[in-house]
């Protein structure tokens, strides 16, 4: 692992999706067996670029996610590495049985991509807003389940997944996201990233919540509370060692996720904590609610996914020690 934390809360001028497309382009040039299959959403994640450059490795299944998932399984059985994409709601909920049986159970390590995770589905609204995509995929034995933080991470993780030989689900934000890491960062699946050290509380976050956690850390520091911040992009396998060590160091934990808390990151961390070092925990995430339509900023307020919510949760966790 090697990275430089930027942490200035500035939005990357590049569309996040291009991190995936760039990584794929580089890899496809070297590996004719690397494929991408899409579901009438080239236009949304810019994979039309892949089709242009590598027409024999890029497919559009039309609006047929279950079929695309099955085709990905068959292509994988012929020795290919296949990334399958749709919006996160459809590549999880819609095509889940195919992902489960044709792919994972059959030991065909397809790489599933779900764009517009959680509140990032914004104007597409509640019908399109996956708060349970990660939960579904975490329930699959031995699956790798990732919520990448920014451009640098999505780029690196795409390459790591392609080389992993493991069935995976990876979230992908389309638009510009806050830059947390400098380009060239190197991550390890199964290893969380400690972004700040602290002694009073550990904030464990992923995806869009990492920047919120970093902001919360600053507010807490100003109030005399020292927070450790961990980017747990790797929900499964989760970094048990880091969670246990953090719980011991700081004595309480706050998790923060763009997903429902039940069966999400909060639950995954709580399992590790309860088994090894029971300490007070607070969880920031969606509390048993459906999605709804609106701007992402509004939705983050509506569902309590902001730095100030993390700050309140951290104070509560500290007070419960």
Ligand X SMILES: Cc1ncc(C[n+]2csc(CCOP(=O)(O)OP(=O)(O)O)c2C)c(N)n1
Site of interaction with other proteins (CB under 8 A): 38, 40-44, 48, 60-64, 66-67, 89-90, 93-94, 123-128, 292-295, 298, 302
Q: Please report how close the Cβ of residue 99 comes to other proteins at its closest, in angstroms.
A: 16
64 binds, options ligand X, other proteins, none, Cβ within 5 to 8 A by partner type: other proteins
Closer of 45 and 243 to other proteins (Cβ): 45
Q: Please report how close the Cβ of residue 204 comes to other proteins at its closest, in angstroms.
A: 29
Integer Cα distance of 62 and 261 in angstroms: 33
Interface positions with ligand X (CB under 6 A) = 39-41, 63, 65, 90, 94
Q: Please report how close the Cβ of residue 294 comes to other proteins at its closest, in angstroms.
A: 5
Closer of 115 and 246 to ligand X (Cβ): 115
43 binds, options other proteins, ligand X, none, Cβ within 5 to 8 A by partner type: other proteins
Closer of 137 and 235 to other proteins (Cβ): 137
Q: Please report how close the Cβ of residue 279 comes to other proteins at its closest, in angstroms.
A: 37
Q: Please report how close the Cβ of residue 302 comes to ligand X at its closest, in angstroms.
A: 22
| CB burial of residue 44 (10 Å; 0-12, 13-18, 19+) | middle
Question: Can you list the alpha helix ranges (DSSP code H) found in 98-239?
Answer: 133-138, 151-164, 209-222
Q: Please report how close the Cβ of residue 130 comes to other proteins at its closest, in angstroms.
A: 11
Residue 233 and residue 147 in contact, taking contact as beta carbons nearer than 8 Å: yes
Closer of 87 and 155 to ligand X (Cβ): 87
**How many Å is the maximal CA-CA distance in the chain?**
59
3-state secondary structure 201-235: EEEEECCCHHHHHHHHHHHHHHCCCCEEEEECCEE
For residue 230, the cross-strand partners are 194, 204
Closer of 39 and 273 to other proteins (Cβ): 39
Q: Which residues contact 198 (CB under 8 A, 6 or more apart)?
A: 217, 226, 227, 228, 229, 250
Residue 109 and residue 76 in contact, taking contact as beta carbons nearer than 8 Å: yes
Closer of 23 and 61 to ligand X (Cβ): 61
67 binds, options ligand X, other proteins, none, Cβ within 5 to 8 A by partner type: other proteins
């Amino acid at each position: 692992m090697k990275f430089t934390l930027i942490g200035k809360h500035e939005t990357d001028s590049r569309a996040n999706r291009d991190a995936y497309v760039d990584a794929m382009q580089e890899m496809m040039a070297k590996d004719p067996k690397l494929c991408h299959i899409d579901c009438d959403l080239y236009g949304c994640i810019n994979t039309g670029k892949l089709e242009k450059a590598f027409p024999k490795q890029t497919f559009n299944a039309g609006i047929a996610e279950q079929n695309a998932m099955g085709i990905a399984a068959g292509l994988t059985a012929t020795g290919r590495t296949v990334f399958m994409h749709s919006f996160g709601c459809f590549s999880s909920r819609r095509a889940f049985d195919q992902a489960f049986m044709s792919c994972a159970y059959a030991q065909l390590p397809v790489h599933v991509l779900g764009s517009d995770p959680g509140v990032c589905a914004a104007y597409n609204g509640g019908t399109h807003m996956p708060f349970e995509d990660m939960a579904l995929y975490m329930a699959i034995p031995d699956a790798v389940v990732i919520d990448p933080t920014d451009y640098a991470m999505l780029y690196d993780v795409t390459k790591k997944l392609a080389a992993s030989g493991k069935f995976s689900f990876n979230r992908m934000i389309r638009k510009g996201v806050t830059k947390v890491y400098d380009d060239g960062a190197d991550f390890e699946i199964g290893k969380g990233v400690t972004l700040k050290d602290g002694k009073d509380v550990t904030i464990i976050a992923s995806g869009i919540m990492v920047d919120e956690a970093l902001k919360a850390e600053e507010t807490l520091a100003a109030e005399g509370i020292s927070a450790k911040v961990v980017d747990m992009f790797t929900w499964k396998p989760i970094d048990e060692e880091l969670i246990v060590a953090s719980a011991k160091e700081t004595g309480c934990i706050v998790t923060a996720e763009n997903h429902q808390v039940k069966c999400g990151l909060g639950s995954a961390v709580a399992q590790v904590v309860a088994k090894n070092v029971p300490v007070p925990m607070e969880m920031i995430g969606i509390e048993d609610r459906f999605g709804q339509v609106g701007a992402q900023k509004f939705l983050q307020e509506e569902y309590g996914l902001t730095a100030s919510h993390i700050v309140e949760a951290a104070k509560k966790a500290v007070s419960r020690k």
